Structure 1
Amino acid sequence: MNKYNFLMAAIHNVMDYYHIPGCAIAIIDKGKSFYFHFGYENIEKHIPFTLETVSGIGSCTKSMTAFAIMRLMDQGILDIDVPIHTYIPGFALYDEKASQMVTIRDMLCHRTGVAGHDGTWPNDSISRKEFVYRLKYMQPNVAFRTLAQYSNVMYVALGGIMEMVTGKTWETILKEEIFDPLEMKHTYCHLSDAYKSGHMAMPHLWDHKLKVISPWKIDMAGPCGSVMSTIQDMCTWVRMHMQNGQWQGKQLLSSSLFRDMHTPQIIMNYPHLKMGTAIGYGLGWRILMYHDTEIQQHTGKIEGYSAFQFYVPKEDSGAVFIDNLHTPSNPFFFTLQGLLLDYFLGIPQQDWLSFYIHRGGKNQEEIYHQLEFNYMPKRCVKETKPSHLLQDYEGIYSNPAYGEFTIRMNKNELELDERCVRHCPMKHFHYDTFSVEKIKEDTNIYTIPLTFLTNTDTGDISGFTLRMEPKVSDIFFHRIK
């Protein structure tokens, strides 16, 4: 449409600059929806990205998990302000005081004090209910209720709690509480179901060139980020929020709980639009201020997919973007959000392209590797060697939070299997410390130190420490086989 010409040029420029293979966009303008789609859902097969394309929404799933929880509260099935241990026997966090006080509200707004620990999920060998009881082994890095720290593990556990109190799966709850009432017929919690749709976008990654990668199956950790959807279904989802929890004349969530969900619970800074101010985190939504105007929003990212949802309550306007590139996505989303916000608010347009791309230049390769981190010690002691033969380090090692990791020989070198991530290369660093490469935690890729420990009495390898969560002490795994 002609009135969105200002947006079309920016879309093409930013997609070309960041090598975004495909995307779909929904614009809700004064209550009316408009759709656009660009590029490919699969660059290798040149399949167009269309309005029917199903793509990963990543952490936008959290707003759905939160909404379903609030619906359960509306029905009197749970209470987000009652300590969890009072109705989930044996529930506990690492910190005893926090265990007695923590509520679903604390988990929803990321204020439990527990650091990322994203190496604990997904784990198909356990259920979400079992995962709930692993929280007590995850060391916090700040005091309870003192700081917002984005936490996927708490949302995974929330799914387990939902299952415990209802006797239903998280997938069933989302279907009954969200997908069915909103007639979101092309929205899926499981990767296999998205595949069956016949229109699933393939995830892509840039590493000196654009390539298709294998989708990451995170069904077990679904409540934090597994949902896949079309742009039309996602538009319906956001429009319901713009109507204060109403859809087709029915109030899906009571007005008081809806307001509670979209009210900042704790101060949280996060990547956001330039010239915007992060106000805090609600219950599954982030709140931003731009030109004294409240913006409700959330980003989403999962292996090879990105998404962004936002709306301006007072303007009855908003948008949803979905694409199939691993990273970076924020420059694309924020360029379009800035242009749309200026349009919605009727203020002079900023030169948003200049904020997020270098005109006339090429993007630097490094930006595609911004989620890769090296946590190895800066100093290496030269001319040292391991205390044992490499095959002596082979075995199965266990930690009560992280589960079982396996170390094995492969072509005269050690490698680590961590959960569903296989064949992480291990290289000798110094003494009994090795570097482990390609450790996957959420969308981050780590290179981290692993140090073997020896039984004083027998001289056998008894376990190892691994820097799985850089914000806390190295994680200890004891040898079980």
Structure 2
Amino acid sequence: MDVVAPAASVNCTAIDMSKWLTFLINKGRTSNGIQLIPEDIFKTMITKQVDFEDYFESDSELYATDGYAMGWKTGKYRGKSICRHTGKIEGYSCIQAFMPDDDLGISIMMNLHSPTVAIMHTILYSTIDSLLNLPRINWTYKFRDDKKPTAEDYKDCHVDVFHSIYPDAIPNEMPSHKLMKSYMAHSYEGIYYNSGYGFMKIVSQDDKLYMKYRDMFLLIKPYWSGNFRVDNVKEDILTMSIPLNFICNEEQKSIGLRIRFEPLIDDIVFFKKN
């Protein structure tokens, strides 16, 4: 989690979170009346700064978000102002919300990574309805109908980037010792570097190539046409299967590699260190 520390390294207990929510409900004032954040600044912090609709059109009632403030998603819940934000890292999920006009704050923490969005919002909305004496809505049914979660639902953070780019890719099933001769001829093994992503090491073990990156040690699977696939790559909350391609010079020796660490942008290029 150190890599994404600004976004994912807030560790908190339920008691401390309740103190934080009380501070928010009191508009930046501590429990003993000290105004730590001036009210005008606090109002700016929770006021929409940009448009941000965090839902698909069919889900507008479920995730009623209209904008983003300073670290808060803003919107209306049943006509009442609400600020909320979810967070998750592998193994944990949470949501916190407060309603500035109703003196109400709620935090939900779960020892479950995914899928949690539906259940967290079901609990959140049902709790708000109960505390504010609003007419009851069956949020469980709205989120899930009468369907039970399937095994596939628990894979919503698994992304197969490789096959989305190479849908017709064919695994290279030649004997590994023969493939290793090709790897050695191309000088694939070595240390690679990118100024933004740091060092990566390509090593061989039992006639197979492996990628050593951060705390990961992952098998590099060969495909025809010079493509390689790496599974179980951890990036934030995602577990990905991604393509890796070596860059060779005129002598067909590796001088770098391209790897799709980010699903929504182009490959990240690492250059081989001499």
What TM-score range do you get, normalising by the shorter chain? 0.7 to 0.9
1:381 Cα deviation (Å)?
A: 5.6
CA RMSD in angstroms, aligned pairs only: 2.2
Give me the whole-angstrom Cα distance separating, in 2, the residues matched to 1:340 and 1:475: 44
Count of residue correspondences: 261
| Selected match of 1:261 from 22, 40, 45 | 45
Residue of structure 2 equivalent to 1:229? 12
The question of 1:415 aligning with 2:210 is answered yes
The question of 1:380 aligning with 2:169 is answered yes
Contact kept, 8 Å, 2:125 with 2:139, in 1: the verdict is yes
Change (3 A) 1:381 1:309: closer
Task: Indicate the SS of the match to 2:203.
Answer: strand
Give me the whole-angstrom Cα distance separating, in 2, the residues matched to 1:368 and 1:276: 20
The question of 1:312 aligning with 2:95 is answered no
List, as ranges, runs of 4+ consecutive aligned residues in structure 1 with deviation greater than 3 Å.
Answer: 271-276, 356-359, 381-388
Residue of structure 1 equivalent to 2:123? 336
1:382 Cα deviation (Å)?
A: 7.2
Give me the whole-angstrom Cα distance separating, in 2, the residues matched to 1:269 and 1:395: 45
The question of 1:367 aligning with 2:156 is answered no
| Selected match of 2:110 from 297, 305, 323 | 323
Residue of structure 1 equivalent to 2:228? 434
1:133-167 alpha-carbon deviations (Å, 9 max, x no partner): xxxxxxxxxxxxxxxxxxxxxxxxxxxxxxxxxxx
Q: Which AA in structure 2 matches 1:378?
A: P
Give me the whole-angstrom Cα distance separating, in 2, the residues matched to 1:223 and 1:380: 38
Q: Which AA in structure 2 matches 1:346?
A: N
Residue of structure 2 equivalent to 1:467? 260
Task: Indicate the SS of the match to 2:95.
Answer: strand
Residue of structure 1 equivalent to 2:65? 278
1:375 Cα deviation (Å)?
A: 1.2
Give me the whole-angstrom Cα distance separating, in 1, the residues matched to 2:119 and 2:223: 39
Contact kept, 8 Å, 1:273 with 1:338, in 2: the verdict is no
The within-5 A match list for 1:132-143 is none
Give me the whole-angstrom Cα distance separating, in 1, the residues matched to 2:145 and 2:63: 21
Give me the whole-angstrom Cα distance separating, in 2, the residues matched to 1:268 and 1:449: 32
The within-5 A match list for 1:101-116 is none
Contact kept, 8 Å, 1:309 with 1:319, in 2: the verdict is yes
- The answer to which structure has the higher helix fraction is 1
Higher relative contact order (CA 8 A, sep 6+): 1
Structure 2 gaps, min length 5:
none
1:7-46 alpha-carbon deviations (Å, 9 max, x no partner): xxxxxxxxxxxxxxxxxxxxxxxxxxxxxxxxxxxxxxxx
Contact kept, 8 Å, 1:440 with 1:446, in 2: the verdict is yes
1:341-380 alpha-carbon deviations (Å, 9 max, x no partner): 2234432111112123454x64201111110001121122
Contact kept, 8 Å, 1:436 with 1:448, in 2: the verdict is yes
Task: Indicate the SS of the match to 1:263.
Answer: coil
TM-score of the superposed pair, with normalisation by structure 2: 0.87
Quick check: 242-251 or 381-390, which moved more? 381-390
1:194-232 alpha-carbon deviations (Å, 9 max, x no partner): xxxxxxxxxxxxxxxxxxxxxxxx235322111222111
The question of 1:350 aligning with 2:137 is answered yes
Give me the whole-angstrom Cα distance separating, in 2, the residues matched to 1:428 and 1:274: 46
Change (3 A) 1:260 1:280: same
1:249 Cα deviation (Å)?
A: 0.7
The question of 1:397 aligning with 2:183 is answered no
